[in-house]
Structure 1
């Protein structure tokens, strides 16, 4: 896992790194019974996660189907998955008939959801984040399920608090975060009702070279734009590490549902990262606002105990990101809005 290149020179190298399975994942896949389906596979993490699962199956020298479900607004994603040996199914998951006709698969990874553009489109956000999980829990009640959630279900906490723990009471800010808590509640309800094993992943800021908090900061530095430091700190995790941990978390599924925070243990300082990238890019850094004493932070001690520590540390990801931006490499063009404190996305 640690023999990554000094820098990524193209997307092919990046995709290889993001989908590289650990030895622990390969061993888990050997023990896991049943095939695997990814719902909402064409999002920011689904493609690399599905490919990682397929690579782990191949390395384990076993046979399992890996299926990816999405609207596939980008044919490129569908082709890439199919070339990687992953079956694809195209359709609208808000269509009950489409859901009913999906194959019954033992292991389900639920990645669907809506965040950006929530403001002014609240009904669709609630449908995707809270209504759809109810449909999924009925369809796959005899499966085991890993469901994506977010650290946004927690309130802002003091910088020196160590971050929100899974046992802390959720207190979401804004409709997006509220709808995500709704998503959790539907998975929790179905888990208890049908005795379905579920793991709920409260993820904070998975990053790679084309998307994430570091890309947002580096892009602003590169363009000589000001960086808001009001939300002064964040947890981040290399997406390859997040993929690996989340895939292995299916073995933690239980009824009632099991909750786990997934992110890096180090709190990054937005101002420090900006200045570091400024030095790497030889750019003057413009900061605006004043750091507050609270931020959206999670405690990952449970995750580290059960799934181990991350392989790639923030300083390495910062260097990779600066190099990627400096060389004008492709980006996804989606800001994280990490600086938002009122929950309006």
Structure 2
């Protein structure tokens, strides 16, 4: 297994991601997060071509901590700065233990944004989804107003902004999902506010000549959350899974985070979208059967598959980055093992079953 120095300290070496040597299971959260933070050689090479330090806004979310750690492992001589409110101080402590600088800031505060250090590379990972239908004003403020403040303040910087495949219409099952050329048709205010976020980044990218990418993700998974966790947990509890939204795409969170960081090398003026998910279209009914077999329990489903689903075409991402390195079979085995052993979870369901855009 290859390794490289981390943080400028020769004694500390970081394992590289080797798809030929995947673990059989994860014994702990620590083992999972270490694996999620292993860089590929391709990521190391791409970040070496991107000048300057990196700041991640909204670093305390589900993907943020391992995204920051992955960036630091892939580019140990760059400053990696994580910005969040840090309502959970343990997240901040973990980040700092990994060599990531942290700044506490409320991104709804214009003065707080203007006080942040000017670095040439920004990953915007802040946003509001869960509970969006109960606080639409906050949803729009976080998803549209804050991106405008950030894009205007960090003029000239490369900005990769997280977006979502929810901005697309449901597409016909049996064909390729929505591509970057598919006209957005956001259903519900959450998805509409995410188009607002994209338009703000696009506008200020053109105004200031700031290179950017709009990173349309669905759905990232690790052991503690995601579509696979949601389905496996219901199967494990003996609950029926609704298969009306009958097909999904998923991608390993480590692969998604690597593509976020590699997108810094592929920014455009004005900012343009790129889809991120796994290349397979997965049957939810098939996933239920697969998890039932692994967990040794009966498969139970309700509903009937609709003829449309939220699906994305990742031809562009696969051309730029290659196929994701962690295969579906490994994800199924890992999630089933994690759920069977009742390991920790984020308790943040994806709500992938929602078809009316109300999150």
The bucket for the TM-score relative to the shorter chain is over 0.9
Q: Equivalent residue for 1:35?
A: 53
Q: Equivalent residue for 1:165?
A: 179
Q: Equivalent residue for 1:25?
A: 43
Q: Equivalent residue for 1:221?
A: 235
Q: Secondary structure in 2 aligned to 1:160?
A: coil
Distance 2:246 2:343 in 1: 27
- Map 1:240-279 onto structure 2 (within 5 A): 240-279=254-293
Give deviations 1:97-136, integer Å, cap 9, x for gaps: 1011000011000000000001120000000001101000
Q: Secondary structure in 2 aligned to 1:145?
A: strand
Q: Equivalent residue for 1:82?
A: 96
Distance 1:174 1:343 in 2: 4
Q: Equivalent residue for 2:69?
A: 51
Q: Equivalent residue for 1:155?
A: 169
Give deviations 1:249-294, integer Å, cap 9, x for gaps: 1111111112100110001111111111111111112101110010
1:127 is aligned, of 116, 136, 141, to 141
Q: Equivalent residue for 1:287?
A: 301
Q: Secondary structure in 1 aligned to 2:134?
A: coil
Q: Equivalent residue for 2:3?
A: none
Distance 1:74 1:4 in 2: 31
Give deviations 1:170-211, integer Å, cap 9, x for gaps: 000000000000100000000111111011101010000001
Q: Equivalent residue for 2:201?
A: 187
Distance 1:161 1:315 in 2: 23
Distance 1:323 1:178 in 2: 37
Contact 2:295 2:336 in 1 (8 A): yes
Contact 1:163 1:297 in 2 (8 A): yes
Distance 2:166 2:71 in 1: 27
Deviation at 1:245, TM superposition (A): 1.2
Give deviations 1:233-260, integer Å, cap 9, x for gaps: 0110000111111100111111111210
2:29 is aligned, of 2, 6, 11, to 11
Contact 1:65 1:87 in 2 (8 A): yes
Mark the runs of 5 or more structure 1 residues left unpaired by the alignment.
Answer: none
TM-score (norm 2): 0.94
Q: Secondary structure in 2 aligned to 1:119?
A: helix
Contact 1:37 1:109 in 2 (8 A): yes
Moved over 4 A (4+): none
Q: Equivalent residue for 2:191?
A: 177
Contact 2:49 2:265 in 1 (8 A): no
Q: Is residue 312 from structure 1 mapped to residue 330 from structure 2 by the alignment?
A: no
RMSD across aligned C-alpha pairs, in angstroms? Answer: 0.7
Deviation at 1:4, TM superposition (A): 2.2
Contact 1:4 1:17 in 2 (8 A): no
Q: Secondary structure in 2 aligned to 1:304?
A: helix
Distance 1:180 1:258 in 2: 14
Deviation at 1:139, TM superposition (A): 1.0
TM-score (norm 1): 0.98
Mark the runs of 5 or more structure 2 residues left unpaired by the alignment.
Answer: 1-16
Q: Equivalent residue for 2:158?
A: 144
